[in-house]
Amino acid sequence: MQTEVTKASARAPGTGNTDAASMMLTLTVAGQLCAVPVLTVRDVLGVQTITRIPLAPHEVAGSLNLRGRIVTAVDLRLRLGLPPREPGQVAMSVVVDVGGELYSILADQVGEVLSLSAEGTSPNPMTLDASWKEFSLGVHRQGDQLLVLLDVERLMALGV
Amino acid sequence: MDDLLADFLTETNEGLASLDAALLQLERNPSNGAVLSEVFRTVHTIKGTCGFLGLPRLEGVAHAAENVLGLWRDGTLAVTQSGITLILSAADRIRQIVAGLEATGSEPVGDDAPLKAALNAAASGEAPAAAPVLAEPDQAPPTLEEPATPIPTAEPAMEAAATGGNAPQTIRVAVDVLEDLMVLVSELVLTRNQLMQLARAEENAAFAVPLQRLSQITSDLQDGVMKTRMQPIGSAWAKLPRLVRDLSNDLGKRIELEMRGAETELDRQVMELIKDPLTHMVRNSADHGLETPEQRRAAGKKETGRILLNAFHEGGHIILEIGDDGRGLNTDRIKAKVVAQGLATEAELAAMSERDIHRFIFRAGFSTAAEVTSVSGRGVGMDVVKTNIERIGGMVDLVSREHRGTTFTIKIPLTLAIAAALIVEAGGERFAIPQAGVLELVRVGLGDGPKVERIKNSAVLRLRDQLLPLVPLKHVLRLEPETEAPQTEGFVVVTQIGAQLFGIVVDRVFDIEEIVVKPVAPILRHITMFSGNTILGDGSVIMILDPNGIARATGLGLDGAEGTAMQEQAAAPRRRDRSTALLLFRAGAGAPKAVPLNLVARLENLEASRIERTGESLVVQYRGTLMPLVPLDSYAQPPETGHQPVLVFGDGTRAMGLMVDEILDVVDVPLEMDRAGLRPGFLGSCVIAEKVTDILDTSFWLKQGQPDWFETQAVVGTRPRILIAEDSDFFRNLIVPAVMAAGYDVMTVNNGRDALRLRDAGEMFDIIISDINMPELDGFGLARAVREGGAWAELPMIALSSQSEPRDVERGRAAGFSDYIAKFDRDALLSSLQHCLQPMLAR
């Protein structure tokens, strides 16, 4: 999965006029396509050993070791109020940097890096579920699917 | 400007320190260009800087010396011995002026003209012409010294020269660089640990030896980097003399500040964190602690009060003491305030020692200052200090004696970055407990080791003579739901917070690992049970437990702000001298019987076939020796078949088994004995669970057939209070019930040192009984210390020893004992007690 990001960053200069700020990494959670800005992403990891943290908010899955740095993992499904992952279903870690602190977002799948134009982004539709609305910066039509732009800082503002 | 000057002085002293050696080297080898350049640079730097700072005398001397050195360096002038002498005397003069600068902040007055003239003459060239001039300097220094001698700086100049010579070479490094180094080393330590773990799994790996070497180097590097972060604590104290001076003006008090151990080093990060609490405490001492000169005079003390700061190292920790010789804490006022604030009831206070009462000042919102002053007394004091110190893994405690003063003791770890930690498991998860807070590890629930008991709803562990409240880790961390039955098997990590001991119950204990403490993510900081997290050798992330946080969260500790239910638990250990655990059993007809549980070494259920008869008595082969069995009911016979319950008494070498019918229960009750219906072999009776229960007199059964001793003394209205210092549990348990049954109130300590602590804490007794051989401070030492002075100086003291040769007795009397009695001789002890207390009882 490491390759995904490398490929993406390699492709980024090639697209020339594409502003790095508009590059998004897509991920899927409970069948919903969403995206986070590539610039905040530090790493994408496969299945990790995650240490449970007692007394932590229930969205916090635990902490993991990223090359000597301790990263707190937040389960996107629980954060968005979605049902927990089926047993046996693995989670992917998208490591993001929020204010110098590393967090891992646990998603079901990690997709590709896309360049999204600002014009294609529309504000949250009225029908968007409330739990999604809180963490959505807007939606983007991607083929026949709707892509939710996630507010990473918001997502990580747990217990604050 | 002050800072500039200070920097200049530091630099100049550094330069001067090496200057003499370099000049002497140059004298031996005049052609050594490198040394010559070094000397030139040093003098040149001094000259340049002092010109900038406006120090004309220094500049003049340095300039003249630099001229000569410049010519030498260029090869225009040959380096001669007399020339070196001249430069050396110039260096001496510079030192003298620098010392004056250090002492007064300005250049001392003096005349350098002759020296400068000599230097200029040497610089002016021709060797022959210089010769007469050069001859002069040999006498010159004394004559030149003369104008300087009347100036008081002459002596400091000598000192500066002496210390300058030893001054280590230093360089200044930005703190950031050191911090980065520390982080890197921490990472290196983690990686090393990880490698070591991998290597352990692989036998005969080719990399084992180099890895070992790498490990060693990493440890050395870690030590080295730690050292770079160490700073003498004196730098945190630098502002205190000024603070005290201002306070003494503001408060109209005379205060003398004494600072000891200023050179004691600790990690700068720790230092930053204790600076404020320290300042606060000194402020407190000046404001609350010390009296006004009038009050001091009235109390017969020196008018000038004293604040003493003391710092020293003690095994991986630094101990800081802040003491004053002021009025001491007002126990009554604290009591009143405690009751007023509802922190404890009068009855609870009555059961507390004075020291425990004093500790209330660490509670939030507690200030005993009669009125709020601008200096302190806003009630946001000691609790903040305590919290800040505990946050960095430290502890704070105090000792106060009325009219003698108060001393606060702070114990803090030397560094926060790397710590040894015990890795434990609870509820399937692993956690690290910093070793600094761990006193000992006790395995519970297996064989005849210590067991978890229950008092009301809380689990406790009886460890030696203490009752420790237990905190099951998996329950406080909500890893497993709390169940009715307490966890009876596992390990108890005995931890100390301040003076409070408690046990953390875990399922498993792994080894001790060096961990690098990393702060937890911001979204987890609200969980106070963790002080950080770290990565273990196997690469997994692990949470570091904060014993302080656990104690607070569970309401343990005297300062737990909430949780009255737990206060009861916290109070349990204090009540240990009031209630005793008794083993209930049935033997023969009549009332159930009981014996202090501590006296019983083991409970056995012997197979009847193992019991043998030798003549009149019964024995059993027990742990390799023959143990006599005594039937409690003299008519009872051992069963032919089945099992015989036996209480085993013993102190390691001797053992005796007491045959009983059935073991019933263990209960915790105050040992209030009624001596009605007394019969041999029993100390009296006690009402336990609404049943009259006979209390076994263990010594009777151990010694069999001793005459009864209960006729010796009648109980008087107020029970005389006895302090017993005895390190052996066995003897203590033997003496205490007997003495208590005779109508005395008893408190026990393990050794002389603990006894003196009680004295210092203001405890009072009517008599002291002391063992002779004890760890830390033996009986003789205790007697001498008691007699030296203090509140106990006049107390009768009885020595209790297994050695009672005449010369031992004599030695005991010489040390200050009133009487000397052989252990086991109860009659002698009780009659001696009565004899010693006669005057008091008569009152």
**Separation CA B558–CA B386 (nearest Å):** 12
**Separation CA B424–CA B506 (nearest Å):** 7
The region of weakest confidence among A114-123, B89-98, B122-131, B134-143 is B134-143
From chain A, the residues in CB contact with B477 under 8 A are 54-55
Residue range B211-215: mean pLDDT, rounded: 89
B526 and chain A in contact, CB less than 8 A: yes
CATH code at position A18: 2.40.50.180
- Asked whether the predicted pLDDT for residue B65 surpasses 80, the reply is yes
**Separation CA B270–CA B827 (nearest Å):** 57
> Residue A25 corresponds to which tokens in the numbers above?
């990494």
Specify the pLDDT at position B653.
52
Instruction: Quickly state the pLDDT bin for B376 (edges 50, 70, 90).
Output: very low
pLDDT higher at B519 or B427: B427
Asked if A160's CB is within 8 angstroms of B524's CB, the reply is: no
**Separation CA A54–CA A49 (nearest Å):** 16
Specify the pLDDT at position B635.
61
B218 and chain A in contact, CB less than 8 A: no
Domain range for A51: 2-156
Q: Which residue has the tokens 């026990």?
A: B748
pLDDT higher at B585 or B418: B585
Q: Give per-residue pLDDT as tens, B462-510.
A: 877 778 888 899 888 988 877 766 667 889 999 877 667 889 999 999 9
> In this complex, which of B427, B477, B533 lies closest to A70 when CB atoms are compared?
B533
Specify the pLDDT at position B498.
64
Specify the pLDDT at position B378.
40
> Residue A147 corresponds to which tokens in the numbers above?
């892509």
Specify the pLDDT at position B315.
61
* Model confidence, pTM: 0.46
Specify the pLDDT at position B369.
52
- Asked whether the predicted pLDDT for residue B99 surpasses 60, the reply is yes
- DSSP per-residue letters across B435-459: GGGEEEEEEESSTTS--EEEETTEE
Specify the pLDDT at position B431.
95
Residue range B79-96: mean pLDDT, rounded: 86
Q: Give φ, ψ of A12 to 5 degrees.
A: -55, -50
Q: Give per-residue pLDDT as tens, B379-413.
A: 446 777 887 787 777 788 888 888 888 999 988 87
**Residue pair B458/B472 in contact by the 8 Å Cβ criterion:** no
User: pLDDT by residue for chain A (160 residues), tens digit each?
Assistant: 444 444 444 444 444 445 666 789 999 998 899 999 999 999 998 888 899 999 999 899 999 988 878 899 999 999 998 898 888 888 999 999 988 889 999 999 999 998 887 777 888 887 778 888 888 888 888 778 888 999 999 898 876 5
A89 and chain B in contact, CB less than 8 A: no
**Residue pair A11/A54 in contact by the 8 Å Cβ criterion:** no
B536 and chain A in contact, CB less than 8 A: no
B716 and chain A in contact, CB less than 8 A: no
Asked if A72's CB is within 8 angstroms of B524's CB, the reply is: yes
Q: Give per-residue pLDDT as tens, B679-735.
A: 777 777 777 777 778 888 777 776 653 233 223 333 334 678 888 888 877 677 777
Percent of chain B at pLDDT > 70 equals: 80
A65 and chain B in contact, CB less than 8 A: yes
Q: Count the domains in chain A.
A: 1
B527 and chain A in contact, CB less than 8 A: yes
A14 and chain B in contact, CB less than 8 A: no
| Chain A contact probe: residue of B424, B523, B542 with most A CBs at under 10 A | B523
The region of weakest confidence among B10-14, B206-210, B653-657 is B653-657
B350 and chain A in contact, CB less than 8 A: no
Residue range B68-81: mean pLDDT, rounded: 84
B187 and chain A in contact, CB less than 8 A: yes
Asked if A103's CB is within 8 angstroms of B541's CB, the reply is: no
**Residue pair B570/B558 in contact by the 8 Å Cβ criterion:** yes
Asked if B429's CB is within 8 angstroms of A63's CB, the reply is: no
Asked if B190's CB is within 8 angstroms of A70's CB, the reply is: no
Specify the pLDDT at position B515.
82
pLDDT higher at B171 or B668: B171
Which chain A residue's Cα is nearest to B519?
A70
Residue range B319-332: mean pLDDT, rounded: 89
From chain A, the residues in CB contact with B187 under 8 A are 68
Asked if B524's CB is within 8 angstroms of A53's CB, the reply is: yes
Sheet holding A60-66, edge to edge: A41-45, A92-98, A101-107, A69-75, A60-66
Specify the pLDDT at position B166.
47
| Chain A contact probe: residue of B191, B480, B538, B541 with most A CBs at under 10 A | B541
**Residue pair B62/B32 in contact by the 8 Å Cβ criterion:** no
Asked if B542's CB is within 8 angstroms of A55's CB, the reply is: no
- Asked whether the predicted pLDDT for residue B576 surpasses 50, the reply is no
Query: How far apart are the CA of B177 and the nearest CA of chain A, in angstroms?
Result: 20
- Asked whether the predicted pLDDT for residue B572 surpasses 70, the reply is no
pLDDT higher at B569 or B746: B746
Tell me which H or E stretch contains B722.
strand B721-725
Asked if A70's CB is within 8 angstroms of B518's CB, the reply is: yes
Specify the pLDDT at position B485.
65
**Residue pair B584/B665 in contact by the 8 Å Cβ criterion:** yes
Specify the pLDDT at position A119.
74
B535 and chain A in contact, CB less than 8 A: yes
Asked if A70's CB is within 8 angstroms of B521's CB, the reply is: yes
Q: Give φ, ψ of B820 to 5 degrees.
A: -135, 120
From chain A, the residues in CB contact with B191 under 8 A are 68
Highest mean pLDDT of the ranges B456-470, B533-547, B640-654, B814-828: B533-547
Specify the pLDDT at position B417.
67
Q: Give per-residue pLDDT as tens, B735-761.
A: 777 787 777 888 888 888 888 888 887
